[in-house]
Structure 1
Amino acid sequence: MATAELLLHPVRMRILQALFDADPLTTAQLRERIPDIAPATMYRQIAVLAEAGVLEVAEERRVRGTIERSYRVRKEEAVVDPAARAAMSKEQHLRAYTTFAASLMGDFDRYLAHDDADPVADGVVYRQAAVWLTEDEFDVMVEEIERAVVSRMGHAREGRIRRVVSLVVVPDEPKAGTGPAD
């Protein structure tokens, strides 16, 4: 499993988002999907992800005397494990969350930049709700959400639209008895 530092880098996060549950893509195809990333930066960050084992080469082929590689995400490696998350400082969590939130805003901005973007017709959803749950109920809810999303990943692409689903859960306040004064 990867570290938060590795996965939550702004450019690497965008590369991973472009590849999640998508067909393998070449660097040129990734550059078409995220054209605002400089070519040298794209190549460098793909190399970092591949070296860390988060990306794997799905295919290699010769193109005009060079090797063109198609990459895919190794889903089991593209996760920050619970122990690594637990070891993060508050500042590291804030930086990771800020990167994540900025990435969401960037994705939405790129979507809206399309002349034919129609948030209502395209099914854009952004909602917030408060729920009161015990720890066990919370664990069950998160498992249900994950199961609902994971069970729909990898469906054949014909007739379907790729949608990116993000989940953020933030408690209103810390659990009693877990703060630094306790």
Structure 2
Amino acid sequence: MTTLDLLLHPVRLRILRTFLDGHPATTAQLRERLPDVPPATMYRHVAALAAAGVLEVLDEKRVRGAVERTYRVSWQHTEIAPEVRATMTTEDHRRAFTAFVGGLLADFDRYLAGAAPDPAADGVTYQQAAVWLTETEMAELVAEIHAAVAARMGRDAGDGRTRRMISLVGVPAEA
């Protein structure tokens, strides 16, 4: 299975998205966060992600005769390598972007369907800006944004923190 096919499966994408906060989880914890995914489906997709090295085992312990594994994401295995991206077809990119946007829509829909959403009070933002950048300047901007987000990942819940999804899309636009 190609990296693209592995990562673009809807259930596997949802599993990976649960790890975006940087916290490890067991399959049971994943099932709590994704209760609509049947257990056999969850175990099958977790196994596929682990076999591909996308999920790595942090810990194993015996629980009622079975082995419970705690996983974390091996982020270097979640990105489509530049050489692979260079060979992707227009349709491959369309599939990847559609999966990305689908995840955004699902997150936003879950938020709106929750108990008393208040976008203004909750700090919900979606915005777009046009900037003129060289390729080097664009790479610097992406690196700065990545560093700012990475510095905040892995924080624990509590202390008034709300789990937030941060997404970035950058595409060339007609002038």
Alignment TM-score, normalising by the size of structure 2: 0.89
For residues 58-137 of structure 1, what are the structure 2 equivalents within 5 Å? Answer: 58-137=58-137
* Between structures 1 and 2, the one with greater helix share: 2
38-47 vs 157-166, greater mean Cα deviation: 157-166
* CA deviation profile, 1:82-141 (whole Å, cap 9, x unmatched): 111111100011011111111111111122221133222221111111112222222221
* Partner SS for 1:152: coil
Identity among equivalent positions (%) equals 58
Tell me whether 1:32 sits opposite 2:32 in the alignment: yes
**What is aligned with 1:166?**
167
**What is aligned with 1:176?**
none
Structure-2 separation of matches of 1:154 and 1:29: 17
Supply the AA of the counterpart residue of 2:172.
P
40-49 vs 29-38, greater mean Cα deviation: 29-38
How far 1:157 moved relative to its partner?
A: 4.1
* CA deviation profile, 1:11-46 (whole Å, cap 9, x unmatched): 111111101234221112111111222222111110
78-87 vs 112-121, greater mean Cα deviation: 112-121
How far 1:156 moved relative to its partner?
A: 4.4
**What is aligned with 1:41?**
41
Supply the AA of the counterpart residue of 1:92.
D
Question: Conserved in 2, the CA contact under 8 Å of 1:4 and 1:85?
Answer: no
Question: Conserved in 1, the CA contact under 8 Å of 2:62 and 2:68?
Answer: yes
Q: Which runs of 5+ in 1 are unaligned?
A: 174-182
Alignment TM-score, normalising by the size of structure 1: 0.86
* CA deviation profile, 1:146-177 (whole Å, cap 9, x unmatched): 1211222223444233222111112125xxxx
Count how many residue pairs are aligned between Structure 1 and Structure 2. 172
Aligned-residue CA RMSD (Å): 1.7
Question: Conserved in 1, the CA contact under 8 Å of 2:22 and 2:153?
Answer: no
